[in-house]
C-alpha cells in the first residue's frame, strides 16, 4: 500500500520511517515533487492536520496522512499550542521558540506541559483522525543533541532525560507522534 506523508519536515519523516511496517510504502512530498508550503491556517491541531491531508489528496489523488503537533504548557494557558512551530515568529525557528518559552516560564513554578499530535488520514474517500499525547515538564535549560523542535526542553513524565537526550527508539515508543501513529497503523492493518 502506498501512503503519502504530507510533511516537509525531515525530522518527522525520519521518526515515522522508523515506525512504518513493511506493508506500507511511505511516499514523501519530495518524492512526489511537491514543494508547496501547505497552509496551516486552522485554529486547532485537528484542523491543520486536515488541511494538509486534504491538500495532498486533492492535488495528487493519493491516500495520505498529515499531522499537526502542539506543545501545551499548563501555566501559560496552553501556549504555544497550535502556534508551536511559529511561537517566536513565522520563521519556524526552534531555538527562538525555545528561548521565548523559557523566558515566558522564568517566574512560573508550574512547568507541567504536554505534547499532542493529531493525524488526519484520507483514504477511500474518508477522513479518520488519530490522537497521541504525552505528559511531561519543561526543563529550565536545554539538554541533549537529538530530536528537534522543543525536544531539548521537554522531559516526559517517568524519565530523567529530555526527548533530545533519549534514543529515537525510546522516544518513538513513548512520544505523542509515536502513539498517534500506532493508532493509524492499527487502523490500516484492518482495512
Q: For 17-48, how does the pLDDT look when each residue is reduced to its tens digit (9 = 90+)?
A: 888 888 999 999 999 999 998 888 999 999 99
Residue with cell 527508539: 169
Question: Between 168 and 98, where is the model more confident?
Answer: 98
Domains in the chain, start-ordered, CATH in brackets?
A: 2-189 (3.90.950.10)
Q: Which long-range contacts (CB under 8 A, 24 or more apart) does 29-38 make?
A: 29/4, 29/5, 29/56, 32/4, 32/56, 32/60, 32/62, 34/59, 34/60, 37/8, 38/6, 38/66
* pLDDT band per the 50, 70, 90 thresholds, residue 121: very high
Dump the DSSP string for 113-152. Answer: EEEEEEEEEEETTEEEEEEEEEEEEE-SS---SSS-TTGG
Question: Between 13 and 175, where is the model more confident?
Answer: 175
Specify whether the CB–CB gap between 17 and 24 falls below 8 A. Answer: no
pLDDT, average across residues 7-24: 86
* pLDDT band per the 50, 70, 90 thresholds, residue 65: very high
User: Per the residue annotation, which of 68, 107, 110, 160 is the catalytic one?
Assistant: 68
Residues 81-93 have pLDDT tens digits of 999 999 999 888 9
* pLDDT band per the 50, 70, 90 thresholds, residue 143: very high
The pLDDT value recorded for residue 16 is 86
Active site residue 68: yes
Helix (H, G, I), strand (E, B) or coil at 79: strand
Amino acid at each position: 500500500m502506498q501512503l503519502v506523508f504530507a510533511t516537509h519536515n525531515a525530522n518527522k519523516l525520519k521518526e515515522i520511517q522508523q515506525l512504518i511496517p513493511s506493508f506500507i510504502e511511505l511516499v514523501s512530498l519530495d518524492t512526489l515533487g511537491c514543494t508547496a508550503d501547505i497552509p496551516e491556517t486552522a485554529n486547532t491541531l485537528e484542523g491543520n492536520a486536515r488541511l494538509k491531508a486534504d491538500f495532498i489528496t486533492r492535488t495528487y489523488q493519493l491516500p495520505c496522512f498529515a499531522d499537526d503537533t502542539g506543545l501545551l504548557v499548563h501555566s501559560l494557558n496552553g501556549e504555544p499550542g497550535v502556534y508551536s512551530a511559529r511561537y517566536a515568529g513565522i520563521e519556524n525557528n526552534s531555538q527562538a521558540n525555545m528561548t521565548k518559552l523559557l523566558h515566558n516560564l522564568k517566574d512560573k513554578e508550574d512547568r507541567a506541559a504536554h505534547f499532542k499530535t493529531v493525524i488526519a488520514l484520507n483514504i477511500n474517500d474518508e477522513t479518520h483522525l488519530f490522537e497521541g499525547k504525552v505528559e511531561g515538564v519543561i526543563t529550565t535549560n536545554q539538554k541533549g543533541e537529538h530530536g528537534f523542535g522543543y525536544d531539548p526542553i521537554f522531559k516526559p513524565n517517568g524519565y530523567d532525560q529530555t526527548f533530545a537526550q533519549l534514543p529515537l527508539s525510546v522516544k518513538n515508543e513513548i512520544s505523542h507522534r509515536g502513539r498517534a501513529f500506532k493508532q493509524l497503523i492499527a487502523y490500516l492493518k484492518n482495512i
